Amino acid sequence: MKHVEEFDSTLAGVGVMPEPDKSEISSLASGAIRKAKFRLMPLILLMYLLAFIDRSNIGMAALTMNQSLGLTPEHFGFAVGIFSFGYILFEIPSNVLLERYGARFWLARIMITWGIISMAMAFAQGVVTLSILRFLLGVAEAGLAPGIVFYLTTWFPKKELAKVFSIYYLGVPLAAIIANPISGYILDNFHNVGGLESWQWLFLIEGCPPVILSVIVFLYLTDKPSKASWLKPEERQAYQDLMEKDQHATLSVGHSGFREMIKDRRVWILGMAYFFTVIGLTGLGFWMPQFIKRFDYSDTVVGMLGTIPYIAGAVVMCWWSNHSDKTGERTWHFIIPSLVFSVGFVIAAISDSPVISMLGLTISTIGMLSCVPTFYTLPASFLTSRGCAGGMALINSIGNIGGFFGPFLVGLTISITGKSQNGLYLLSVLVLFSPLLIYLMSRSRRQVAGWR
């Protein structure tokens, strides 16, 4: 891994220091890790939260934007989904540039770019310009999530990664909890302010924070532990010793080569399972405001109600992930919430009662948020070290294609049938393929020891 080589070169450039007593290394490194968490994780969480707001606020904007721009459900689904292709195509190039220029500079650059493009969406004229801007937004955000993952692996040992990743992933429900009510208020109260429509103000207002935060990111983030001036010299040395040992321990386990990874059918099965999960995730996330709007609520109320599923989902997600860690069981901790994910869509679609429909959307969101973190533990059950990194990259790329098909297929279904409930039924069926694939793989005779 390149970041291991960076650690080696970094350590070579640090001044020679007295070697600390081995009994002190653990306490020094532990203290340094705590400092790093308090300094870095709030900012990392805020970055991902803002990114998720700007990629998903089009779902709220659609409540007034679609009519203003003359968008059909099919048009809207296509414009939303095209984001994924920009994201997929430029994910690897962006990561290469991040390693070259450093996380501090490159993550700040990403934030400025996506903030400006998000604000530019306020001036979309129709499905073509909206689709182009959504594609460019995907290009701009492409390196953020994998860049943050890379950044965290240079700062925290393996045993700490699950905890810091859970903090990072909280940005998803928090984005909806914070942004939905704000978006609803903007849509109801900013119509014709300054000659602009309310949906235009939504993009302008919510596109500003990442541009502002980029300055703080550039000034505040530290590329790697060796450059952390806010650590004492002995803490930096202990931190570097710990990370070097952790990285070499990872590499000593052995690895699955690239050819072996490509030929491993389990990687492809996991990729397809994630593909169907992402279809449900994006289909629900981008269309939920319109599913709620069918009951003729005001935009402000739609925004408020849209927070309920994510509040419940965040609570259950934390409990479920902790339960999976305690028991060490992974397969059924993915299958069960995936089934809940699917059943929730049916409950939301089958009733004309707003209460029952909201209950269904909440159940579905609980399943969605609970199954995704658990999914990321599955590849580590059979892929080692570098094989896991490469395998996860391929799995992630396959899955992200579902980010186009989710919103587009829902929009196409609604355009053909004229009923939003049919979009929910479609998502319910497609999501079921994910737990089915994982179940079949777990039962396969070719499963390796350790898969649970």
Is pLDDT at 386 greater than 90 in this prediction? no
- Is residue 240 over pLDDT 60? yes
- pLDDT, mean over the chain: 85
Confidence band of 125 (pLDDT split at 50, 70, 90): very high
Task: Find residue 193's DSSP bridge partners.
Answer: 196
Per-residue b or e along 132-171, where b marks 16 or more CB atoms closer than 10 Å to that residue's CB: bbbbbbbbbbbbbbbbbbbbbbbbbbeebebebbeebbbb
**254-451 has which CATH code?**
1.20.1250.20
pLDDT at residue 323, rounded to an integer = 86
Instruction: Answer yes or no: is pLDDT of 255 > 50.
Output: no
Domains 28-252 and 254-451 in one fold = yes
Residue 310 has pLDDT above 80, yes or no: yes
What residue ranges do the domains of the chain occupy? 28-252, 254-451
Top CATH class of 28-252 equals: mainly alpha
Give the model's confidence band at 383: pLDDT under 50 very low, under 70 low, under 90 confident, else very high.
low
Query: pLDDT for 263-272, tens place per residue?
Result: 778 889 999 9
Q: Is the pLDDT of residue 57 over 60?
A: yes
d(CA 186, CA 188): 5
Average pLDDT over residues 359-387: 80
For residue 445, pLDDT over 60 is answered with no
**308 vs 16, more confident:** 308
CA angle, corner 253, sides to 250 and 258, nearest 5? 90
Q: Is the pLDDT of residue 152 over 60?
A: yes
The band of 102, judged by pLDDT with boundaries at 50, 70 and 90, is confident
Residue 203 confidence (pLDDT) above 50: yes
Higher per-residue pLDDT: 426 or 384: 426
At residue 264, the pLDDT reads 77
Given a cut of 90, is residue 413 above it in pLDDT? Answer: yes
| Lowest-pLDDT range of 41-50, 189-198, 232-241, 357-366 | 232-241
Which of left, alpha, beta for 323 (phi over 0: left; psi -120 to 50: alpha)?
A: alpha
Q: Is residue 161's pLDDT more than 90?
A: no
* Residue bearing the bigger pLDDT, 261 or 291: 291
- 247: Cα separation from own chain's centroid: 25
Instruction: Average the pLDDT over 36-40 and give the result.
Output: 89
State mean pLDDT over 322-350: 91
pTM listed for this prediction: 0.82
Q: Among residues of the chain, what percentage have pLDDT more than 90?
A: 54
pLDDT number for residue 381: 62
Across the strands, what pairs with 196?
Answer: 193
Give the pLDDT mean for 256-278: 81
pLDDT at 379 over 90: no
Least confident of 87-91, 119-123, 215-219: 87-91
Report the pLDDT value the prediction gives residue 390, as an integer from 0 to 100. Answer: 61
Between 416 and 450, the more confident residue is: 416
pLDDT band of residue 197 (cuts 50, 70, 90) is very high
Percentage of the chain beyond pLDDT 70 is 86
pLDDT at 15 over 60: no
* 248 has pLDDT over 70: no
Q: Which one has a higher pLDDT value, 184 or 25? A: 184
